[in-house]
Amino acid sequence: MKICPRCKMQFERLLALSRKDNKTMICDQCGTLEALEDHQRTIKKTPQERTREQVYATGNKWAIENFEATHN
């Protein structure tokens, strides 16, 4: 039996990967909760904020400059 580090309950297997650090295995229920929490954070952002995050995540300087030029 394995213990989920998030909820401290025992499970036969831990099948979900935690979104907090992308290393820790957690139970399915906690995995679902983390996904829902992540989704709630995404909903609160405007489309422009979500696009800005995606553009900056690429590290492409031209794309970042282009985004800033067209959205400021």
Express each pLDDT in 31-51 by its tens digit: 999 999 988 877 778 888 889
| Whole-number pLDDT of residue 17 | 95
Instruction: Tell me: pLDDT of 72 over 90.
Output: no
To the question of pTM greater than 0.85 for the whole model, the response is no
**How far apart (Å, rounded) are the C-alpha atoms in residues 55 and 29?**
32
Residues 22-34, mean pLDDT to the nearest whole number:
95
Cα distances (Å, whole numbers) of residue 2 to 12, 30, 48: 6, 14, 42
Residues 60-66, mean pLDDT to the nearest whole number:
94
Under 8 Å between Cβ of 62 and 42: no
Phi, psi angle pair for 71, to nearest 5° = -120, 10
Coil, strand or helix at 32: helix
